[in-house]
Amino acid sequence: NAGVTQTPKFRILKIGQSMTLQCTQDMNHNYMYWYRQDPGMGLKLIYYSVGAGITDKGEVPNGYNVSRSTTEDFPLRLELAAPSQTSVYFCASSQAVDHGYTFGSGTRLTVV
Amino acid sequence: AQKITQTQPGMFVQEKEAVTLDCTYDTSDPSYGLFWYKQPSSGEMIFLIYQGSYDQQNATEGRYSLNFQKARKSANLVISASQLGDSAMYFCAMRGPYTNAGKSTFGDGTTLTVKP
C-alpha cells in the first residue's frame, strides 16, 4: 500500500499565485486532515474532513480551501499566495479518531 | 480549548540508556486521547503510541511507553534502550472527544539527540 501520497514535494510560488496541493490515500480512511508546520513549531490544523462531501475549518483556514469529492482525495487549494503561507504542509488520514495519523511526506512551499 | 506543552526544547541521551520526554496537557473534556509522533531529520511524521483518557493501563509499543498521569495531566514518552536512530523531533498531540472528528492539537516538539 502507498499510504498517503502528497504532491508536489517542493514548490516556489510568487505572491498572488494560486496552487493546489494534492493528497491521496489508499487505505479507505474516512478522516483526512491538512496541517501546516512552521519552522521549529508544531503542526496547526488548516482543514479536515470526516468523509466524502464533508469538510470543515480547522485552526488556521484563512487563505485556503478544500474539497472532498471522493474518500481517497483531499486537495488543498491556496488562493492568492502570501509570504505568511511559506511552510511545510502535511496531509494525514486516520481510520478512526482513536487511531494515530498516517502522514504524507509533506510539501515544502515557499512564497516569494 | 486544548493545549499541549512540551517544556524541553532539546534533550540528550547516551545510546542504550532510557529517556523521558515530557508532555503536559490542558483540557476540560473528560474524553480525550494522547499521541506521540516522531519526526526524523528527513521530515516525515511517524505515529508512535496512543493513550485514551479512559484507558486503565499505560500504553506500550515496543521500546516506547507512555507514562500517563491523569491527575497531573501529563503524558510523558519513555524510550528505553535508546538507539542512534531515535535521534529526531518528538511531538505530543491530543485529540478531543470522539465527536471532535479526531482533530489533534500538537505541542512544539522536543529534539532528542542520542549520543554514541
pLDDT above 80 (res B87): yes
Q: How confident is the model at residue B60 (pLDDT cuts 50, 70, 90)?
A: very high
Which pLDDT value is given to residue A1? 64
Per-residue H/E/C for A50-103: EECCEEEECCCCCCEEECCCCCCECCEEECCCCHHHCEEEEEEEECCCCCCCEE
**Chain B contacts to A (CB-CB under 8 A):** 4, 33, 35, 37, 43-50, 52, 91, 93, 95, 98, 100-109
Is B33 in Cβ contact with A97 (below 8 Å)? yes
**Dist. CA B34–CA A19, nearest whole Å:** 34
pLDDT tens string A9-42: 999 999 999 999 999 999 999 999 999 999 888 9
Q: Give how far Cα B73 sits from Cα of B11, B24, B69, B94, Å.
A: 21, 6, 6, 11
Q: Which residues of B touch A94 (CB under 8 A)?
A: 102
At residue A2 the predicted structure's pLDDT band, cuts being 50, 70 and 90, is confident
Question: Quick one: average pLDDT of B50-67?
Answer: 96
Q: pLDDT tens across A39-96, in order?
A: 888 999 999 999 999 999 999 999 999 999 999 999 999 999 999 999 999 999 999 9
Strands A4-7 and A10-13: unpaired
Helix/strand/coil for A52: coil
- Which of A44, A48, A103 has its CB closest to that of B45? A103
Q: To 10 degrees, the CA torsion angle through A1, A30, A34, A20? A: 80
* Mean pLDDT in residue range B71-79: 97
**Cross-chain residue pair A97–B98, CB shorter than 8 Å:** yes
Residue B100: pLDDT band with limits 50, 70, 90: confident
Mean of per-residue pLDDT scores for chain B:
95
Which residue type, as a one-letter code, is found at position B93?
A: A
Higher pLDDT, B69 or B99: B69
Q: What's residue A65's pLDDT? A: 97
Q: What is the pLDDT of residue A40?
A: 84
Identify which of A43, A88, A94 has the shortest CB distance to residue B106: A43
User: 52-111 in A: which are within 8 Å (CB) of B?
Assistant: 56, 58, 88, 90, 92, 94, 96-103, 105-106
Report CA A74 to chain centroid distance, whole Å. 7
How many Cβ atoms sit within 10 Å of the Cβ of residue B41? 9
Percent share of chain B, pLDDT over 70: 100
Sign, Cα dihedral of A9, A25, A38, A45: positive
Is A97 close to B107, i.e. CB distance below 8 A? no
Strands B10-14 and B110-115: parallel
- Write down the mean pLDDT value for chain A: 96
pLDDT, position A105: 97
